Amino acid sequence: MPPAPLALGDEIAGLLDETATMDDYGSGYVGYAFTAQAGQRVVFAMQSEDFDTYLELGRASAGGFESIAADDDGGEGLNSRLVHTFEEAGVYELRARSFGGASTGAYTLGVSEIEPDPEPMPLVFGRAVQGEISDDSVRSASDGRFDAYRFQGQEGQRVQIVMRSGDFDSYLEIGAAEGEFIALAYDDDGLGEGLNSRLNFTIPETGDYIVRAQPLGGAGRGLYALELIDRGPAPVAGSIMIGATVRGSLTENDSMAAGDSSYYDDYRFQVEEGDRLRLTMVSNAFDAFLALGEGLAEDFVLLASDDDGLSDTNSLIEHEFDEAGWYTLRANSYAPNSTGAYVITIERQE
């Protein structure tokens, strides 16, 4: 069945059933032909109460259908929302189907155009900028308003973006500059000061990156301040021997745990098979949290952890090791953004 015509502004009520066209993988779909202009940015939105929707955009080629972009749950719930900026004018095919390709039922498909993203403003390390989110700010695919900034990062570089506003709940996203924007990391209230944001990110590969400064939920308007900070190289893990005590300190230059904005220090130590150890962490500056695992940084694999096992705010782990080798003791805080001195010990138990 040839693709049906599809144009901007269309709102189509469709049906995915046994008459659907089958692709090379045995999935049934309904095809639509869309004529695009170079530089045009279009939103395709598919909704259904009968199945998990899936949209795929592509072009006919000598080898058949060449997929360009796809979306599963970019809309609300299990609905799809595919945003694409067309680099070349021409006729494209949009395939509407269910995720997995086997489900059937009714659906709606809408097509609309949004303005292309303007050239992002430059963002320089160590230099705070002032901005304002207004009705004239760029509208995202989800209809929120944002300001975009661009900077160059080096592979492995640790960066921190801080956004403050007294007018709205700030929200930060970071993504690669090439292609349609996809958030690689985000933050809402990571600064620990009311509704202000702090996003920590390690650059995966050298290149240009985009920071989106915006209100949470998209409805806020007002002034904000934004700063890009180079956090320097990742701290090198320390070492500790069984029977030793180490005094350390959590600072804002330390590594930060993914997801909760808490600082940590890693210590490596070696054990023999069958060793039974007592590990403690004490701090008068913050609520201590101690973790035992294998590997370092993002490769850390948790084996055991404790918050208040030693006392109200101090930690205790007792563990017997089944295998000899090197392990990691992570000195952490229970609450985000906590800093201060601590003491950790490793003692052998009989």
d(CA 258, CA 7): 43
Nearest alpha carbon to residue 56 among 40, 43, 42, 72: 72
The CATH fold assigned to 4-114 is Jelly Rolls (2.60.120)
The structure tokens 């970071």 sit at 174
- Mean pLDDT, the chain, integer: 91
Residue 156 has pLDDT above 70, yes or no: yes
Which pair of structure tokens corresponds to residue 202?
A: 């390690």
Q: Where are the domains of the chain?
A: 4-114, 121-232, 238-348
Residue 173 has pLDDT above 90, yes or no: yes
> Residue 251, Cβ neighbours under 10 Å: how many?
11
Phi, psi at 266, each rounded to 5°: -105, 140
**Helix, strand or coil, per DSSP, at residue 188:** coil
Q: What is the mean pLDDT of residues 175-179?
A: 89
Q: Do the beta carbons of residue 108 and residue 47 sit within 8 Å?
A: yes
The CATH fold assigned to 238-348 is Jelly Rolls (2.60.120)
Please check whether the two domains, 4-114 and 238-348, share a CATH topology: yes
Cα dihedral angle (114, 204, 169, 256), rounded to 10 degrees?
Answer: 170
d(CA 346, CA 294): 16
Q: What is 14-36 written as a DSSP string?
A: EEESTTSEE-TTS-EEEEEEEEE
**Helix, strand or coil, per DSSP, at residue 199:** strand
Share of the chain above pLDDT 90, in %: 71
Q: Do the beta carbons of residue 106 and residue 134 sit within 8 Å?
A: no
Residue 259 has pLDDT above 70, yes or no: no
pLDDT tens, residue by residue, 114-144: 877 778 999 999 999 999 998 878 776 566 7
Q: Which helix (H) or strand (E) holds 98?
A: strand 90-98
**Helix, strand or coil, per DSSP, at residue 298:** helix
pLDDT tens, residue by residue, 285-311: 999 999 999 998 878 999 999 999 999
CATH architecture of the domain 121-232 equals: Sandwich (2.60)
Amino acid at 187: D
Residue 98 has pLDDT above 90, yes or no: yes
Q: What is the mean pLDDT of residues 319-335?
A: 96
CA separation, residue 295 to residues 30, 88, 139, 326 (Å): 48, 46, 42, 9
> Residue 93 — very low, low, confident or very high, per pLDDT cuts 50/70/90?
very high
Predicted TM-score (pTM) of the model is 0.63
